[in-house]
């Protein structure tokens, strides 16, 4: 009788141990499956981030006078208005086209300058625009030149300047490039509108 009881106790202990082993084994298998999914995903994301950073940092500067990427981080509001219509720089074709100076995050009115000595013209050239011989050249090739009725004008912080191409934007600057036949009152309205634009950092 005692032998039967001992054998039953032993069997119960064995069954309990097997159930516990089975429970922990299932948990271990579940964790292994989870880790097989998560670990490669994390490695993939990190690898893409590192490769992107390397490519971005190795993009060559078009001018040896510019500092290295990361040597500055300045923000300036700007508008380019042609015949009363502002260019919409929020479009993807204008976003982050240079690692030196650009617009980003679907914003089209804040310039981000990431290197020292980088002028405004560098941004324009990066989006296939230019200023040459008193003409603003849009990315579609159209030229906006001074005529008897229309003028190409530049303003920095509300003050008109003869040239904007070589101007290096500074923190909190407000830059206006405008072409048209605006009178003084209309120009003031454009400058006031520019001053209302938030600078996104």
Task: Check residue 13 and give its pLDDT.
Answer: 55
- Rounded Cα gap, residues 113 and 169, in angstroms: 7
Task: Check residue 57 and give its pLDDT.
Answer: 47
Q: Is residue 139 part of a domain?
A: yes
The segments of the chain whose pLDDT lies below 70 read 1-28, 30, 32, 34, 41, 44-63
Note whether 83 and 52 are same-domain residues: no
Task: Check residue 6 and give its pLDDT.
Answer: 54
Task: Check residue 14 and give its pLDDT.
Answer: 56
Q: Is residue 47 part of a domain?
A: yes
- Rounded Cα gap, residues 194 and 176, in angstroms: 7
pLDDT digits (tens, 9 = 90+) for 114-129: 999 999 999 999 999 9
Task: Check residue 17 and give its pLDDT.
Answer: 54
Task: Check residue 42 and give its pLDDT.
Answer: 79
Note whether 101 and 175 are same-domain residues: yes
Q: Is residue 66 part of a domain?
A: no
User: Residue 164 belongs to a domain with what CATH number?
Assistant: 2.170.130
Do residues 100 and 113 lie in contact, with contact meaning Cβ atoms separated by under 8 Å? yes
Task: Check residue 43 and give its pLDDT.
Answer: 80
Task: Check residue 58 and give its pLDDT.
Answer: 46
Q: How does 1-36 read in b/e, with b if 16+ C-beta sit within 10 Å?
A: eeeeeeeeeeeeeeeeeeeeeeeeeeeeeeeeeeee
Residue 110 belongs to domain spanning:
74-195
Note whether 25 and 79 are same-domain residues: no
Note whether 120 and 155 are same-domain residues: yes
- Rounded Cα gap, residues 184 and 72, in angstroms: 35
- State the Cα torsion 127-171-59-94 to the nearest 10°: -20
Classify strands 173-180 and 151-156 as parallel, antiparallel or unpaired.
antiparallel
């Amino acid at each position: 009788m005692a032998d039967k009881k001992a054998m039953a106790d032993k069997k119960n202990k064995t069954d309990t141990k097997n159930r516990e082993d089975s429970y922990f084994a299932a948990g271990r298998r579940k964790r292994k499956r989870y880790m097989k999914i998560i670990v490669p995903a994390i490695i993939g994301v990190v690898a893409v981030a590192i490769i992107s950073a390397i490519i971005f940092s190795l993009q060559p500067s078009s001018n040896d006078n510019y500092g290295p990427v990361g040597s500055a981080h300045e923000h300036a509001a700007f508008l380019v208005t042609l015949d009363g219509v502002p260019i919409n720089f929020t479009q993807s074709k204008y976003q982050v086209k240079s690692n030196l100076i650009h617009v980003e995050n679907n914003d089209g009115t804040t310039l981000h300058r990431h290197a020292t000595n980088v002028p405004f013209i560098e941004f324009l050239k990066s989006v296939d625009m230019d200023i040459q011989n008193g003409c603003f050249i849009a990315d579609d090739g159209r030229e906006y030149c001074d005529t008897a009725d229309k003028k190409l004008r530049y303003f920095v912080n509300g003050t008109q300047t003869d040239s904007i191409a070589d101007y290096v934007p500074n923190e909190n600057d407000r830059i206006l490039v405008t072409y048209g036949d605006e009178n003084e009152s209309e120009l003031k309205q454009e400058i006031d509108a520019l001053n209302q634009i938030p600078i996104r950092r």
